């Protein structure tokens, strides 16, 4: 079960259930694309006529636009750039380049298409395929009834899109109902489109990648527990989506975010008879094989496409099935309404940024503490060497001058104080490492104390050097006087 500290990490995202919309916690998550992305340094409005706003997020606004000359309609996503590396406002260029690099690489009927990219002083503008059919769940909620055949027809399209991504070692990491859209809901056979690649990542073989992002209701246990991530995380999300699609109920959703995460980590779900009495065993088996805690035992995308429920699509007809299917559509409608009213969309990027930066700061602080400990060890060795040298000089000069003796005693006293300060600083550093859970709150205070201590040690060392130099000069003067 995940620790309370982990829940505190997730709780850094204020206002809404989303944990993040862009990534990364570890240095691996910030890898730059192989080649620097190039964006058109032109005014987008010279080429496109901007229309109504379609949606907005923490650092992005999406507007409908029309290409001048051709009249083709697209969606323009204005992403606010981060102006300063230290700023928390806006999206870093590195993260924008990662999203653009992935979008430029993918071309599939069930995935949104990137048409062009523009850049100005404040924004990067992605010209995307216009997906105007709305969310899949909203479309299905409007239907009077829903059969498993209809559900699998749409699910097959989702699987096809994810299979294409996984074939390129790309993980979406944010599969959820609001990111599954219809190109045109009025078409005879509406086409699914997967959207929002803000936290998508390439999964590189032999490279460990960890992160905490996504929407709590749909994230895999390995995300909750901050374990290495891979393509398997998407398969868990598909399992959750399928469960909701067939029942209108969410398998892990609790009263609080912490309860939701606890349910996910414990894989605490069941097939309530109220929701699944008319659901086939094949469909339940499909879900069971996806909602597996161990990613290695979880069904892959290729295996899911070969599952009998997806391949065969044969259903038994029962007398009560139409009624139950209508009820399922009603529940899906209730779920859709509830999710839209209770989960603000695209509002958590900044909060994720804060969390990822905290993790970076913690890692940097730990590295800094290790460096400081190394420096203290070196300082202790130097102090010991200086002390030994001072004792030797004290022995040679003990009969020389009473004043010199007093100076040497004072030197030993100061060296003792320095040693005490070093010991105390080492204990504080050890306590800081053991209390890493509270490092976030005490980091600034510890850094100030360590900086002051380092300055004091440096001053004491300088004092010792100056004193030794003075003693050496006095000794030379004394020797000259004797001669």
- The tokens describing 257, both together, are 């975010």
Cβ atoms of 66 and 48 within 8 Å: the answer is yes
Query: Which of 93, 59, 92 is CA-nearest to residue 77?
Result: 59
Count of C-beta atoms within a 10 Å radius of residue 45:
14
151 vs 131, 136, 334, 355, CA distance in Å? Answer: 20, 10, 17, 37
Cβ atoms of 287 and 243 within 8 Å: the answer is yes
CA distance 404 to 470: 10
Out of 123, 174, 196, 234, the active site residue is: 174
Query: Would you call 174 a catalytic residue per the annotation?
Result: yes
Task: DSSP letter for 97, please.
Answer: H
**DSSP notation for 278-339:** TS-HHHHHHHHHHS-SSGGGSPPHHHHHHSHHHHT------TTHHHHHHHHHHHHHHHHHHH
Q: What is the dihedral of CA 286, 291, 297, 298, to 10 degrees?
A: 60
176 is in an annotated binding site: no
Query: What residues are annotated to the active site?
Result: 174
Known binding site: residues? 81
Known binding site for ATP: residues? 81
């Amino acid at each position: 079960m995940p620790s309370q500290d982990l829940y505190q990490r997730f709780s850094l995202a204020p206002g809404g259930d989303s944990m993040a919309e862009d990534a990364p916690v570890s240095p691996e998550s910030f890898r730059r694309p192989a080649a620097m992305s190039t964006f058109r340094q032109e005014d987008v409005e010279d080429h496109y006529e901007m229309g109504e706003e379609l949606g907005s997020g923490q650092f992005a606004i999406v507007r409908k636009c029309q290409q001048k000359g051709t009249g083709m309609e697209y969606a323009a996503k204005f992403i606010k750039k981060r102006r300063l590396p230290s700023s928390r406002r806006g999206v870093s260029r590195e993260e924008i380049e990662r999203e653009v690099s992935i979008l430029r690489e993918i071309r599939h009927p069930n995935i949104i298409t990137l048409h062009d990219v523009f850049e100005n002083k404040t924004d990067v503008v992605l010209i995307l395929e216009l997906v105007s059919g709305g969310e899949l769940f909203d479309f299905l909620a409007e239907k009077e009834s829903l059969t498993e055949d209809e559900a699998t027809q749409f699910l097959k399209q989702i699987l096809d899109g994810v299979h294409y991504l996984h074939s390129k070692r790309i993980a979406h990491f944010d599969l959820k109902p609001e990111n599954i859209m219809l190109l045109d809901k009025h078409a005879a056979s509406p086409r699914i489109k997967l959207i929002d690649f803000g936290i998508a990542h390439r999964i590189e073989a032999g490279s460990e990648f960890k992160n905490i992002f996504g929407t709590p209701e749909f994230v895999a246990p390995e995300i909750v527990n901050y374990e290495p991530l891979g393509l398997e995380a998407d398969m868990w999300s598909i399992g959750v989506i399928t469960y909701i699609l067939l029942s209108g109920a969410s398998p892990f959703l609790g009263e609080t975010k912490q309860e939701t995460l606890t349910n996910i980590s414990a894989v605490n779900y069941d097939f309530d008879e109220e929701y699944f009495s008319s659901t086939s065993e094949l469909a339940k088996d499909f879900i069971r094989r996806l909602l597996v805690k161990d990613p290695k035992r979880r069904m892959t995308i290729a295996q899911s496409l070969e599952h009998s429920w997806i391949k065969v699509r044969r259903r038994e007809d029962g007398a009560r099935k139409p009624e139950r299917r209508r009820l399922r559509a009603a529940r899906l409608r209730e779920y859709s309404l509830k999710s839209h009213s209770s989960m603000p969309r695209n509002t958590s990027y900044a909060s994720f940024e804060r969390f990822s930066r905290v993790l970076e700061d913690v890692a940097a602080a730990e590295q800094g503490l290790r460096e400081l400990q190394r420096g203290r060890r070196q300082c202790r060795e130097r102090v010991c060497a200086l002390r030994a040298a001072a004792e030797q000089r004290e022995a040679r000069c003990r009969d020389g001058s009473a004043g010199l003796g007093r100076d040497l005693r004072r030197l030993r006293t100061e060296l003792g104080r320095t040693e005490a300060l070093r010991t105390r600083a080492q204990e504080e550093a050890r306590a800081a490492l053991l209390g890493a859970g509270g490092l976030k709150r005490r980091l600034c205070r510890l850094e100030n104390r360590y900086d002051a201590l380092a300055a004091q040690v440096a001053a004491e060392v300088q004092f010792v050097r100056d004193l030794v130099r003075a003693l050496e000069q006095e000794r030379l003067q004394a020797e000259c006087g004797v001669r």
